[in-house]
Structure 1
Amino acid sequence: MRTPIPGRVTPRVAASTEHQATVAAHLTKRDRWIARLCAEHRTLTSTQIARIAFPSRRAANHRLQRLHQWRILDRFQPYIGRGRAPMFYVLDTTGAHLLAHEDGIDPRELHFRAERSIGIAYSLRLAHLHGLNSLFTGLIADALAHDDRNVTAWWSEARCARHFGDLVRPDGYGRWREADRQIEFFLEWDTGSYHLSRFVAKIPGYLELATTTRIVTPLLAVFATAQRESHARPLLAEHLRAQPRPQDLPIATTTVDDLNRAATGSAEIWLPLAHRDAGRARLIDLHTAWPHLGEPIASAQTTTNTSEASPVPRLSPPAPMPPFAQHDLTWKPSR
């Protein structure tokens, strides 16, 4: 007979120091990284977590089940009408308290509420978040399979808003390295649920940011369908031409289908706005379309692990790549 699966601890137990001390002794670097990813990026699916942190889906599901029992993470499975959606994981009470202690924060000052964390299950932004996080987890999985590739920055929408929100609010910011080349980018993810003019209206903000910082950062746009992409490109080009310094905002586009087929955003899926005849390019090769684009400059502003000064206590962001060695645990990415 199979051993019954232990039940979850109650919310009251999850907030107790006794439970947290017991669980803390059993958490690995991988567990803590996953919890911090869920805190920063709000939710990740079992599929996304398995790609970037486990050797197999079975291993991932086994460990995620344990983290769920301990209330490090909570989970939900949205209804999709046909087939079965993967489990979506969010930070839970014990996880929030343990991460707070790691950062030297009184958990009470975080004002963490488990019901607010799981509330993303009912949000219209769930599909948007899932798409954004799929692109970045795909890049991480790609980097894990190649020694010369690396994700050196992955910023959430909330973190972008804290840094750039007075001018523009990107959906995300990232930096990708292959061999000795790097490219940084802002990301906009289109779900097809709003008018394209809303996206186009963000262009002046991006240009003002480039003028203020004197840093030209490309904008990558992922559209819900090929039809949306074909409609958006002339609108973006027309609006960009009307700006005083259009060269300060290089733009490349792709579609969700192209991204899903490639399984990684580093593939030959990006179509530069001003160089359509050259065809689609790999992410790292976009420099060819934009010769004026310089190499990213490492700074405190773009280092992911840099603590952010804030009057409100906030958890430190996670490292963009797994902070544990390949020989640790059961970590054996395919090569």
Structure 2
Amino acid sequence: ERRCAAQWGDLARPDAFGRWIQPRTPHDETPPTLDFFLEHDTGTETLARVTRKLGGYADLAEATGTTTPVLFWLPSAAREANLRRLLDTPEVPVATAVQSPATDLEGPAGRVWLPAGLESGRRCGLAELADIWLTARPAKVDPS
């Protein structure tokens, strides 16, 4: 958290930064990789305040030219549902997960993440999130 604050604290203050590299299989040319910010929600802040944090992540993406997804790890299914109702269409990719016996079994890289804005309502693993967000992100055009 301190390193994140030192790096990005003017615009965003994540609890952590992570990089997931999916273990390579014989069929992979390049294994999926996902850089992400983690917001570990303990339920002490209002959900309105939690959602306002996304503005800082959008500002950071604008300032750096790099959009980094934000993953919210929540303490209960009710809090996740209430947060998701407030998310609308976030300016940066967002997914949520709940600390539960199921996530303990799957682990944080497993199919525990629910991306915001997808109709399927199907939980995804980190590698799937990388695939979803890479295909959904428009290619940058060099203006020169």
- Superposition TM-score tier, normalisation by shorter sequence: 0.7 to 0.9
Deviations 1:171-209 (A, max 9, x none): 100001012221110000111222111211111100000
Is 2:32–2:130's contact at 8 Å kept on the other side of the alignment? no
Match of 1:231 in 2: 82
Q: Secondary structure at the match of 1:222?
A: strand
Q: Does 1:218 align with 2:61?
A: no
Structure with the bigger percentage of strand: 2
Q: Secondary structure at the match of 1:206?
A: helix
Q: Does 1:165 align with 2:30?
A: no
Q: Which structure would you say has the larger Rg?
A: 1
Is 1:287–1:293's contact at 8 Å kept on the other side of the alignment? no
Match of 2:51 in 1: 200
Match of 2:123 in 1: 280
Q: 1:261 to 1:276 in 2, by over 3 A?
A: farther
Q: 1:276 to 1:252 in 2, by over 3 A?
A: farther
1:278 Cα shift? Answer: 4.8
Q: Secondary structure at the match of 1:208?
A: helix
How far apart are the structure 2 equivalents of 1:278 and 1:228? 16
Deviations 1:275-324 (A, max 9, x none): 14150111111133321449xxxxxxxxxxxxxxxxxxxxxxxxxxxxxx
Q: Secondary structure at the match of 1:235?
A: helix
How far apart are the structure 2 equivalents of 1:187 and 1:214? 19
Deviations 1:10-29 (A, max 9, x none): xxxxxxxxxxxxxxxxxxxx
Match of 1:255 in 2: 98
Match of 1:127 in 2: none
How far apart are the structure 2 equivalents of 1:278 and 1:196? 21
Match of 1:79 in 2: none
Structure with the bigger percentage of helix: 1
How far apart are the structure 2 equivalents of 1:208 and 1:273? 19
Q: What is the TM-score when the length of structure 1 is the normalising length? A: 0.37
Identity %: 36
- Amino acid of the structure 2 residue aligned with 1:171: D
How far apart are the structure 2 equivalents of 1:251 and 1:218? 6
- Amino acid of the structure 1 residue aligned with 2:111: E
Is 1:222–1:254's contact at 8 Å kept on the other side of the alignment? yes
How far apart are the structure 2 equivalents of 1:181 and 1:293? 15
How far apart are the structure 2 equivalents of 1:209 and 1:193? 24
Is 1:275–1:289's contact at 8 Å kept on the other side of the alignment? no
Mark the runs of 5 or more structure 1 residues left unpaired by the alignment: 1-156, 241-245, 295-335
Q: Secondary structure at the match of 1:201?
A: helix
1:168 Cα shift? Answer: 1.0
Q: Secondary structure at the match of 2:88?
A: helix
Q: 1:159 to 1:191 in 2, by over 3 A?
A: same
- Amino acid of the structure 1 residue aligned with 2:116: L
Match of 1:183 in 2: 34
Q: Secondary structure at the match of 1:160?
A: helix
Q: Does 1:271 align with 2:122?
A: no
Q: Secondary structure at the match of 1:197?
A: helix
Deviations 1:152-174 (A, max 9, x none): xxxxx100000100111001000
